[in-house]
Structure 1
Amino acid sequence: MQKTSSRLLALLSLLQTHRDWSGDDLAERLDITPRTVRRDIDRLRELGYPILAFKGPSGGYRLDAGSQLPPLLFDDGQAVALALALQSAATSPTIGEDAARALSTIRQVMPSRLRQRIDMLRVTAVQSPETGSASLVGTQLLMEVSRVIHAREELRFDYGHDATGLAEQPRRTQPHHLVTCRGHWYLIAWDLDRADWRTFRVDRIRPRTPTGPRFTARDLPGADVAAFVAGRFRGTDGSTADWPCHGEVILNLPAQAVAPFAQDGIVEELGPDRCRLSLGSWSWTGLAAAIGRFDTEIQVIGPPQLTGAFAELAARYANAAGTVRSAPPPDAETSR
């Protein structure tokens, strides 16, 4: 039987891989009794891990979200993937500094074998010329704007024509959506003083406190955020309108993580770990491949051609994965 410390780490690793585990399954995987599983679960809870118990034939456990971030356990593949993702995100004008600090923290606690692999795999992410003038928006400002959107509270803010000067009167708005397009973050909101929809550059917003009263959300014209934003910037900010194929998907990633690599797509925040991506490409399979690079769960909103392209790519990749080519026999002249 494993020692208690190593057994707790093994238990934590299992809880992180699946949503739900029955007590019997955990006992079998760890080669311990269900009673020992219950004791180890209690120990992990004492260490700050929010583990919920649910009823069933043999009971079960779930690692839940808590009020604080407890220590996480990654296998080798997850650690390498996380480090590479942070290296790429370090060039982002929005989260670059935070990504670099996170990478430094993770690298310090990595085993030497993994640290050597990361040091050999240096990645330099080069931004396209279109996003070279991306605006700098602090994560704190993005979080505050996101909070009032989800809370449906009126947002009052000073709004300037540039990063330093405030050339307009304070605005009173009902915030609707937070999106990113061509390297800039935008707030879509109903302007109470102008009685119309407006689009604001987030880097020019200076929120005022306190926020206003709660409100009932209005319907956005057309009920399509991507089409609304593309219509506002078509011809001036290089929307995706010129691509022959357009599609929309939902990704299980934060908008801040997707935005730097969405090229000329439109990213709409749906929650702390979900976003909607509207993207264009020269072909449906090219569009599906571009979306697949985000390496996360994908929910296709439409159109059907995009769903078909994912199915076509899946068949191609499955065929490629099942094809094993043997090396050709050495040439007779060479083997002499």
Structure 2
Amino acid sequence: MTTDLPARMLRLLSLLQTRREWSGTELAARLDVTGRTIRRDIDRLRDLGYPVEGTTGHAGGYRLASGTAMPPLILDDGEAIATAVALSTAAGHLTGMEETSLRALAKLEQILPARLRTQVAAVQQTTATIGWETCGPRADPELLGSLATACRDHESVTFDYTTRHGTRRVDPHHLVASGGLWYLLAHDTGKDDWRIFRLDRITDPAPTRHHFAPRPVPGDDPAAYVADKIATAPARYRAIATVHASADTVRRRTWALATRVRPRDETTCTVDCSSNHLPGIAQTLAALDADYTLDADPEVTAYLHQAAARMQHSVTS
């Protein structure tokens, strides 16, 4: 039973922030108290200015509504790391929000526990970005934090990789965000060569407590190295666009494909949009925002025609 009132109030507030609605019975079970205690605690939250609404229906319930002011948030470890990384990224890439992002980041870092502050700092120190995409790169925050710490501390790690059998042992050097994904640039001890690994394919990472001497990355630019590897990787579907816009203009619009843009003259360039995913090719072509001619596999052109037909149907229906 949660008998400490401040701790119970914080726990109750945290629960209300994780779901749209809770029944009184569920809250009482989670906190191991009676329904009467829950009702009293809800009244206490309301007295403190939290807009907790009662809901109708079988047994009734509670939900935290939007109010006139931003209430304090309670974040778990993974949420805190993700928020700090997002604020740090926004401070460097969102025009007009640099100062407000840094102020929010400073407030968050001031109250982070030491163990989380260390992980956030590691992510910031070991991360490179290939351009910027509004959707943001995807990664499990705890995995991101642990690999960033290993990169910073030069500690070898082992993990399973979904596209390969067996456990990999690597010396991690840098984390790179590109095309909505996170990549780990590491020296594979088994292959004795540089490799890049997608974080969404890494499972069961574990530190080894073995520290290594960092190696110089080929070209001394982690982001450029990863971008080149991504650009030259074999793709299932071929699609080459000749675009009526300068190479510099297209690079600004398609940061993740910067290395695949080749100028032809001052007003024309070619863009290699090849990919393993047809929707990704369509999104890249849409981002060009310019007239183009396309040399592509039949599967690509068929998919684009189907997508255009669906859009036309949705507009006219």
Q: Could you say which TM-score interval applies, normalised by the shorter chain?
A: 0.3 to 0.5
Instruction: Report the TM-score, using the length of structure 1 for normalisation.
Output: 0.41
Instruction: Report the TM-score, using the length of structure 2 for normalisation.
Output: 0.43
